[in-house]
């Protein structure tokens, strides 16, 4: 399929990647090449084939509901770009 | 004494056990080697020299006092920087994690430490393990020790280069589409991608969770057997790790296979491997015939679809895994003042912070893959791309299952071409992706595979032979590989780095 510049801009927004005009151009051509490349899968007859998401069959594993220590707050916040000692800080989400 | 670096890990271990050398002396010899050649190779991102010598002295003391010493007995190990460690930064080769200090150790790190392995440092890699040349690292590339103008392969390029240039006797890499085997082939070492689930992924920074696996990169199959024995096993922290006993792999090497069948996929010829690589593989087949193996032609009809299947599934999983880099909990965040000043009417400051931080923190290849994965998973395209790829994945797996009914192992070249020049493929992502042609199948199907050295090109570049076995048949894989290394000496060749 042909990817328009709007398609690229939409995927960039979904990906939370800010791209300038030049980067959008480069991405449009790169992504188009990649999409063309993977489209050869369309040749394969997959009628009636079960999708395979994992190499081993996954099943639920239950453990005892026991209280165990978790990461102390200090350590959890230690890598944060911005925090106030109790919470992670981000720019205002709601308008003022 | 510099000759310690010439020994294999198993040989060093015997010397350590016999009291001929101390762990401190061994660690010192490898650190000296690192100082001597790493400025040329740039395999390491970070060294833990002081901690390593300290730990080595503890192991030496315990051995001297007749106390129990772990399986690695004071041997040095290098670790790919995608594995979380409490000391130093864990960067995954990304600017995003430049200052990330993990609050915990990956399970494999804990296992190395319990086994008295001495961790020398963290090795360079393509950013988030995405790449086949280590050129995508945010911290400069790594050179191939056999030709400093060529790439070491990737994404575990530092891990391969440090073993090849004798800076570490043992090294841990990770393999999502060939990231252990392809650099092992390019650098002339032994690299093993174990069965999916054989080794816990807890604390390995995720790229594509259904494909990622940690494995040994070493000088020989015997050394890989030792290292896998240490790191394999079930882990409650990784629900996909297999709850199966870990065999004594080195013991298995002592019982050679009597007769076995190797399958050569006829489709390999369709991809025109380099003639010198074909010649080396044919010579390896002859070696196996002489040891009593039979070679049969097999068919993997969907081989040509393996790379496109992988390049839908891996980026899809990556786009989801890398969504965690939100610049809130950890990782790089853009400058707040500049970001706020650039806001336009109606922009959400939070979305802008995410988007700008991610744009500045990730490199071009990571962005491409996030974009491709997001596209393949997005509404309207999911069925045509992602679901389609999952179905082809099943067909690829069935090809392998059928082949393994016919033969004990699949044999062939690990890569279509030898190591390429630095910069040669950076502007052509698809040609870089085709590096994974022969290796991605094992990741998609989950079986175990290995690359071992099987010769050199006329330009003195190493050639890798790939062996693949069914899931959980690592003992068979090691026996077949070890047999070859007992009658050839390709794995003992070393580059002349001065």
Residue with the two structure tokens 């589409």: B177
H or E element at residue B468? strand B462-469
H or E element at residue B117? none
Q: B333, A34: Cβ pair inside 8 Å?
A: no
Q: B371, A12: Cβ pair inside 8 Å?
A: yes
Secondary structure (3-state) at B192: strand
Tell me the average pLDDT across B400-419.
98
Burial A46-82 (b: 16+ CB within 10 A, else e): beebeebeebeeeeeeeeeeeeeeeeeeeeebebbbe
Size of interface A-B (CB pairs under 8 A): 171
Tokens of B74: 């004071």
Closest residue in chain A to residue B319, using alpha carbons only: A15
A64 pLDDT more than 60: yes
CA-CA-CA-CA dihedral for B81, B87, B88, B93, to nearest 10? 20
Q: How far is B368 from chain A (nearest CA, A)?
A: 7
A96 pLDDT more than 60: no
Question: What is the spatial distance between Cα B82 and Cα B309, in angstroms, rounded to a whole number?
Answer: 24
CATH of domain B2-260+450-492: 3.90.1300.10
Q: What pLDDT is recorded for position A92?
A: 82
Q: How far is A64 from chain B (nearest CA, A)?
A: 12
More confident residue, A60 or B16: B16
> For all residues of chain A together, what is the average pLDDT?
93
Closest residue in chain A to residue B384, using alpha carbons only: A42
pLDDT tens sequence across B440-467: 999 999 999 999 999 999 999 999 999 9
Kindly give the pairing relationship between strand B118-123 and strand B44-47: antiparallel
Residue with the two structure tokens 């040329």: B40
> E strands along chain A, which residues?
none
Closest among B453, B485, B498 to B2, alpha carbons compared: B498
A28 pLDDT more than 70: yes
pLDDT tens sequence across A72-91: 999 999 999 999 999 999 98
Q: What pLDDT is recorded for position B401?
A: 98
Residue B365 with chain A: CB contacts under 8 Å = none
Q: What pLDDT is recorded for position B258?
A: 83
Secondary structure (3-state) at B467: strand
Q: Are B145 and B161 in contact (CB under 8 A)?
A: yes
Tell me the average pLDDT across B325-345.
93
Question: What is the spatial distance between Cα B493 and Cα B498, in angstroms, rounded to a whole number?
Answer: 14
Burial B287-311 (b: 16+ CB within 10 A, else e): bbeeeebebeebebebbebbbbbbb
Residue A13 with chain B: CB contacts under 8 Å = 355
pLDDT tens sequence across B245-276: 999 999 999 988 889 999 999 999 999 999 99
Q: B242, A56: Cβ pair inside 8 Å?
A: yes
Tell me the average pLDDT across B104-131.
98
Q: Is B471 on the interface with A (CB under 8 A)?
A: yes
pLDDT tens sequence across B158-200: 999 999 999 999 999 999 999 999 999 999 999 999 999 999 9
Q: What pLDDT is recorded for position B435?
A: 86
Residues 6+ apart with CB under 8 A from B468: B400, B409, B410, B411, B441, B442, B447, B448, B449, B450, B477
Q: What pLDDT is recorded for position A95?
A: 61
Q: Are B54 and B119 in contact (CB under 8 A)?
A: no
Q: At what angle do helices B221-231 and B474-487 cross, to 10 degrees?
A: 160
Q: B388, A61: Cβ pair inside 8 Å?
A: no
Percentage of chain A beyond pLDDT 90 is: 79
How does DSSP assign B335-359, residue by residue?
Answer: -HHHHHHT--TT--HHHHHHHHHHH
Query: Vertex B59, ends B55 and B237: CA angle to 5°?
Result: 70
Q: What pLDDT is recorded for position B265?
A: 98
Q: How far is B182 from chain A (nearest CA, A)?
A: 21
Kindly give the pairing relationship between strand B213-218 and strand B190-193: antiparallel
End-to-end C-alpha distance for chain A, whole angstroms: 43
Q: A35, B433: Cβ pair inside 8 Å?
A: no
ipTM of the predicted structure?
0.95
Closest residue in chain B to residue A55, using alpha carbons only: B446
A34 pLDDT more than 70: yes
Band (B346; pLDDT cuts 50, 70, 90): confident
Q: What pLDDT is recorded for position B498?
A: 60
pTM of this structure: 0.97
Tokens of B253: 């090497």
Level-2 CATH architecture, domain A5-43:
Orthogonal Bundle (1.10)
Q: Are B179 and B414 in contact (CB under 8 A)?
A: no
B135 pLDDT more than 60: yes
Q: A79, B329: Cβ pair inside 8 Å?
A: yes
Secondary structure (3-state) at B216: strand
Q: What pLDDT is recorded for position B431?
A: 87
B157 pLDDT more than 50: yes
Q: What pLDDT is recorded for position B182?
A: 98
Residue with the two structure tokens 């077949």: B480
Burial B70-90 (b: 16+ CB within 10 A, else e): bbbbbbbbbbbbbbbbeebbb
Other beta carbons within 10 angstroms of residue B329's beta carbon come to 14
Domain boundaries, chain A: 5-43
B1 pLDDT more than 50: no
Tell me the average pLDDT across B295-324.
97
Q: What pLDDT is recorded for position B256?
A: 83
């Amino acid at each position: 399929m042909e990817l328009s510049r709007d398609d690229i801009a939409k995927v960039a927004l979904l990906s939370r990647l800010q791209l300038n005009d030049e980067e959008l151009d480069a991405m449009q051509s790169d992504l188009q090449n990649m999409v063309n490349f993977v489209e050869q899968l369309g040749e394969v007859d997959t009628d009636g084939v079960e999708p395979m998401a994992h190499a081993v069959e996954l099943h639920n594993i239950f453990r005892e509901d026991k209280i165990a220590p978790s990461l102390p707050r200090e350590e959890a916040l230690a890598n944060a770009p911005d925090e106030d000692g109790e919470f992670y800080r981000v720019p205002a989400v709601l308008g003022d | 004494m510099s000759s310690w670096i010439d020994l294999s890990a198993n040989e060093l271990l015997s010397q350590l056990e016999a009291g001929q050398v101390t762990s401190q002396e061994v660690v010192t010899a490898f650190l000296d080697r690192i100082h001597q050649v790493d400025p040329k190779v740039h395999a390491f991102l970070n060294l833990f020299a002081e901690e390593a010598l300290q730990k080595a002295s503890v192991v030496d003391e315990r051995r001297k006092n007749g106390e129990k010493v772990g399986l690695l007995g004071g041997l040095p190990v290098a670790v790919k920087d995608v594995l979380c460690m409490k000391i130093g930064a864990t960067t995954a080769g990304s600017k995003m994690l430049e200052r990330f200090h993990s609050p915990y150790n990956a399970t494999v790190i804990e296992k190395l430490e319990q086994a008295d392995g001495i961790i020398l440092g963290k090795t360079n890699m393509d950013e988030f393990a995405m790449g086949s040349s280590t050129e995508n690292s945010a911290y400069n590339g790594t050179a191939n020790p056999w030709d400093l103008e060529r790439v070491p392969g990737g994404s575990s390029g530092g891990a391969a280069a440090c073993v090849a240039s004798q800076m570490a006797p043992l090294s841990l890499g990770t393999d999502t589409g060939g990231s252990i085997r392809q650099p092992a082939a390019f650098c002339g070492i032994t690299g093993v991608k174990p069965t999916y689930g054989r080794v816990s992924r807890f604390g390995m920074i995720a790229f594509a969770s259904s494909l990622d696996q940690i494995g040994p990169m070493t000088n020989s199959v015997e050394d890989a057997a030792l290292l896998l024995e240490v790191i394999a096993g079930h882990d409650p922290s990784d629900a996909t790790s297999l709850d199966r006993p870990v065999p004594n792999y080195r013991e298995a090497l002592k019982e050679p296979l009597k007769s076995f069948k190797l399958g050569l996929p006829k489709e390999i010829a369709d991809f025109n491997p380099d003639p010198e690589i074909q010649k080396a593989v044919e010579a390896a087949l002859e070696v196996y015939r002489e040891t009593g193996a039979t070679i049969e032609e097999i068919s993997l009809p969907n081989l040509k679809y393996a790379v496109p299947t992988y390049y839908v599934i891996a980026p899809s999983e990556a786009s989801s895994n890398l969504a965690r880099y939100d610049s809130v909990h950890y990782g790089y965040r853009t400058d707040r003042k500049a970001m706020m000043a650039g806001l336009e009417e109606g922009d959400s400051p939070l979305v802008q912070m995410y988007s700008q931080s991610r744009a500045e923190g990730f490199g071009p290849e990571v962005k491409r893959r996030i974009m491709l994965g997001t596209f393949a998973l997005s509404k309207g395209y999911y069925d045509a791309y992602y679901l389609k790829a999952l179905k082809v994945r099943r067909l690829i797996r069935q090809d392998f299952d059928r082949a393994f009914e016919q033969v004990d192992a699949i044999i062939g070249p690990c890569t279509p071409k030898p190591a390429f020049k630095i910069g040669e493929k950076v502007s052509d992502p698809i040609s870089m992706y085709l590096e994974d042609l022969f290796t991605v199948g094992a990741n998609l199907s989950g079986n175990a595979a290995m690359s071992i050295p099987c010769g050199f090109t006329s330009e003195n570049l190493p050639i890798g032979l790939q062996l693949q076995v069914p899931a959980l048949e690592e003992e068979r894989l090691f026996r077949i590989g070890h047999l070859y290394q007992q009658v050839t000496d390709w794995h003992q060749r070393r580059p002349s780095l001065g």
